Amino acid sequence: MAIGKEQVLTSVEQRQPLLQLDRLCKSFGAMRANEDVSISIYPGEIHAILGENGAGKSTLMKMIYGVLAPSSGRIVWQGEEVTVQSPAVARSLGIGMVFQHFSLFETLTVAENISLSVPESAAALSPRIAEFGQRFGLPVDPLALVHSLSVGQRQRVELIRCLLQKPRLIIMDEPTSVLPPSGIPPLFETLRTLADEGCAILFISHKLDEIRSLCQRATIMRAGKVVGAVDPTRETNETLARMMIGRELPHPTRVPAKPGETPAMEIRNLTSVPTDPFGVVLNDVDLTLRPGEILGVAGVSGNGQKELASILSGETTLPRAERERILIDGVACGHMNAGQRRALGLAFVPEERNGRGAIPEMNLVQNTLLTAHANGLVRRGFINRKEARTLADRCIADMDVRCQGAYAEARSLSGGNLQKFIVGREIMLKPKVLIVAQPTWGVDVGAAAAIRQELIRLRDDGVALLVVSDELEELFEVADRMQVIFRGRLSPSLTRAEASTATIGSYMTGGFLDRPADSEAEAA
C-alpha cells in the first residue's frame, strides 16, 4: 500500500503544477504574516493547509485569491507568473473560493443570488444549477428563498456559485465547521468527484481526522512559515498536531463532576419569538444548570443557539410578566438586562468577539472595564485607572494573551488571543454561572486546550457552566451532560455515557421529537 501511494505521489510531482507559490512573503508593518512560503499544487489533488490560528493560512489564501498583495515572491499559475490584483482577476484565472461565512442575501432565491455574480439571468441559471447539483451531489432547489435553507444547503449554494465559474482551483475555508456530522461525508464525496474531474482543492481546516480522510497532501504552517509537507494518511492526529503547534498536544484532565443540589440557573418552559425576522423561535425550552457541572448544548449552527445565549445573558429580555421563566440562584430575572444579571453572579462569553465581547477600537484596559467595572474599578463615579490596568495585566498574564501590552487596541489582537482575553476577564469576575458560546472558535489547538482545561477547573471550583458549541469533540471533552438544540427546541439531557456520536447526531436532526421532522433530516 505504502509503495502504491509513493508512486502516485511521484507521478503527480512529474506533472506541471497548477499553482506554484514561490517564496511568498507578506508583512504587516513589523509583523511577518507569511515568510518564504513555497507550495506547489497539482491538478486533481486535494491539498490541506494545516495550521494554528495566526499561522498565516488566511493571509496566504487572501494572496492567492487577490484580496492581499504579496510583499515579495512569485505566484505562478499554469507555468506563468501572474499578479492577482483582485478576486475578480482570481476568478477569471480560474480560482474560486468558498468562504467560511456565507455572502448570500436571505430574501432572494438561490438562482437570484447566484445571478448576482454571474452575467446570466436567474431564469437561465435555474436549469444549470439543477444540473450541477445533480452532477456533483449538491441537491438544492434553485427557486428556494435562501432564508428557508439550512446552513448545509447554503454552503451548497456557495459551492455551486463557485463551480459555475468553472474554476481550476477551489479554496475552501473550514467548510465542515458549519455542518452536522451527517453532512460531512456528502461534502467529501462532492469534493472527491471534483478532484477526479481534475479540479484542485485547497482545503483549510484544523480538524485533523477530516484532513487525514480527505487529503492526499498536507502543508503545515507555523508562525507564517511552512514547517512540513506530509502525506496525512500516513500520520496520526498526534504527529500532525505536534508539527502544527511545535509541541505535544495537551489533553485536559477531568474527574467526575459533583454537582450541587440547588440549581444555579433555570429556564422554565420558555417560548420566545425573536425580533429578527430570520431568527429562530425558541420553543418550550426547559433547562436546569447546577453548580459544579458543565452542561453542553450541541447542535448544528443556526438552530437557536444564538437566541438561547442572548436570552440567558440578558441581551434579550423577557416582559416583566414572564420574569419567573428564568432564575439565577432562585431569583426571577427574565426581565433583567445583562448588567443586572451580572450582579446576580452571571458571566457570559459571547461568540462574537469584536464589537460584542470586546470593543475593537478600545484598548484592553478599557475592555476590562466593559464587564469588570463593578469589581472595584470605579470610585465615586470615576474610573480607577490604576486598578483597571492591574486587572488587565493580570488577565493578560493568566491567560497568556499575546499582545503588545494592556494598552493595545482589541482589534490588534488575533481572534484567538482576544478570545483568551475575554474568557479570562469573565473568569476574573468570579461568576456563579458562566455561559460560554463557542469557547474555542478560531482559537488554536494549544490555546483551545488551555481554555477547556480552565473551564473544567472552574467547574471543580463549584461554578455552574453552560457551553454552547458547534464542535462535538469539544463538548465530549468538557461537558458532564449534553442537550441538543434543534429548530429552537432542546432535547432531553444526556449523560456522558449516553451521549454517543450516533445519539447526538440523530438528536441534531430532530430525532428526539415525537414526530421527527423527516424532511429536515435531509435538509441538514
Partner 1 sequence: MRAPWMIEPRTSLSPFLSLVPPLAAVLTTIVGGVVLLTFLGISPGAALFQLFLAPFSSAFNIGEVLLKATPLLLIAQGLAIGFRAKVWNIGAEGQLIVGAIGGSLLPIFYNDSQNPLMIGGMMLIGMLCGMGWAAIAAALRTRFNANEILVTLMLNSLALQLLYYLVGGPLRDPHGFNFPQSALFPDVAMLSLLSSAGRVNTGLLVALAVSVAAWLFVERSLIGYKLQVGGVAPEAARYAGFKESRAIWLSLLIGGAAAGLAGVFEVAGPLGQLQRVVSPGYGFAAIIVAFLGGLNAIGILFAAFFMAVIYVGGNIAQASADVPYAVISILQGMLLIGYIVARVFVDYRVVFPWSLAKVS
Q: Which of residues 21, 358, 364, 395 is near partner 1 by CB under 8 A? A: 358
Binding to partner 1 in span 284-313, by CB under 8 A:
313
CA proximity to 351, closest of 446, 452, 467, 457: 467
CA distances from 349 to 272, 276, 522 (A): 22, 21, 32
Minimum Å gap between C-beta 369 and partner 1 is 6
The answer to whether the CB of 136 falls within 8 A of the CB of 193 is yes
User: For the chain, how are helix, strand and coil distributed in percent, rounded to 5?
Assistant: 40, 25, 40
Q: Does 337 help bind partner 1 (rule: CB under 8 A)? A: yes
Q: Is 360 in the site for partner 1 (CB under 8 A)?
A: yes
Contact between 247 and partner 1 per CB under 8 A: no
- 3-state SS, 144-171, equals CEHHHCCHHHHHHHHHHHHHCCCCCEEE
CB 469 within 8 A of CB 265: no
Tell me which of 6, 13, 81, 460 binds partner 1, using CB under 8 A. Answer: 81
Are the beta carbons of 156 and 130 closer than 8 angstroms? no
Task: Select 359 or 521, whichever has its Cβ closest to partner 1.
Answer: 359
Q: Which residue has the cell 438528536?
A: 507
Q: Give yes or no for residue 414 binding partner 1 (CB under 8 A).
A: no
The dihedral over CA atoms of 209, 102, 273, 435, expressed in degrees to the nearest 10, equals: 40
* Stretch near partner 1 under the rule CB under 8 A, chosen from 93-101, 172-180, 209-217, 351-359: 351-359
Q: Does residue 128 touch partner 1 according to CB under 8 A?
A: no
Nearer to partner 1, 12 or 362 (CB): 362
Q: Between 332 and 370, whose beta carbon lies closer to partner 1?
A: 370
Candidate list 77, 348, 421, 441; residue touching partner 1; CB under 8 A = 348
Minimum separation from the CB atom of position 286 to partner 1 (A): 25
User: Is 319 near partner 1 (CB under 8 A)?
Assistant: no
**CA distances, 246 to each of 190, 227, 485 (Å):** 33, 9, 36
341 touching partner 1, by CB under 8 A: yes
- 342 touches partner 1 (CB under 8 A): yes
Please enumerate in sequence order all residues whose Cβ is within 8 A of that of 397, keeping only pairs 6 or more positions apart, or say none: none
By CB under 8 A, tell whether 419 contacts partner 1. no
Site stretch for partner 1 (CB under 8 A), options 55-63, 243-251, 286-294, 366-374: 366-374
Per-residue mark of binding to partner 1, 380-409 (x: CB under 8 A): -xxx-x------------------------
Region at 18 (left for phi over 0; alpha for psi -120 to 50; beta for the rest)? alpha
Confirm if 219 and 48 have CB atoms less than 8 A apart.
yes
Q: What is the CA radius of gyration of the chain?
A: 24
Establish if 430 lies at the interface with partner 1 (CB under 8 A).
no
Check residue 438 for interaction with partner 1 (CB under 8 A): no
Distances (CA, A) of 131 to 76, 104, 140, 156: 33, 21, 10, 13
Contacting range for partner 1; rule: CB under 8 A; set: 18-26, 284-292, 336-344, 444-452: 336-344
Which position among 83, 103, 148, 269 is part of the footprint of partner 1 (CB under 8 A)?
Answer: 83
- Who contacts 287 (Cβ-Cβ below 8 Å, separation ≥6)? 265, 266, 267, 295, 466, 483, 490
Among 197, 361, 473, 498, binds partner 1 (CB under 8 A): 361
The residues, ordered by sequence, that sit 6+ positions from 217 with a Cβ below 8 Å of its Cβ are: 9, 45, 47, 48, 229, 230, 231, 232
One residue of 340, 390, 493, 506 binding partner 1 per CB under 8 A: 340
For position 370 contacting partner 1 by CB under 8 A, the verdict is yes
Q: Site for partner 1 (CB under 8 A): how many residues?
A: 37
> Minimum distance between the CB of residue 352 and partner 1, rounded to whole angstroms?
7
Binding range to partner 1, per CB under 8 A, among 193-201, 208-216, 369-377, 499-507 = 369-377
| Spatial CB neighbours of 348, under 8 Å, sequence gap ≥ 6 | 309, 312, 313, 338, 426, 434, 435, 436, 437
Shortest distance in whole angstroms from residue 49 CB to partner 1: 24
* Encoded amino acid at 394, one letter: R
CB 26, min distance to partner 1, A: 13
Our CB check for partner 1 shows the closer of 262 and 275 to be 275
Q: Work out the angle at residue 59's Cα, subtended by the Cα atoms of residues 55 and 65, and round it to the nearest 5 degrees.
A: 145
Beta bridge partners of 81: 76
Nearest residue (CB) to partner 1, 198 versus 355 = 355
Task: Print the binding letters for residues 8-37 with partner 1: x by CB under 8 A, - otherwise.
Answer: --------------------xx--------
Residue with cell 474555542: 440
Q: Is 79 in the site for partner 1 (CB under 8 A)?
A: no
The correct pick among 198, 260, 339, 492 for binding partner 1 (CB under 8 A) is 339
Chain residues in the site for partner 1 (CB under 8 A): 28-29, 69, 81, 83, 85-86, 313-315, 337-342, 348, 350, 352, 355-362, 366, 369-371, 373, 378, 381-383, 385
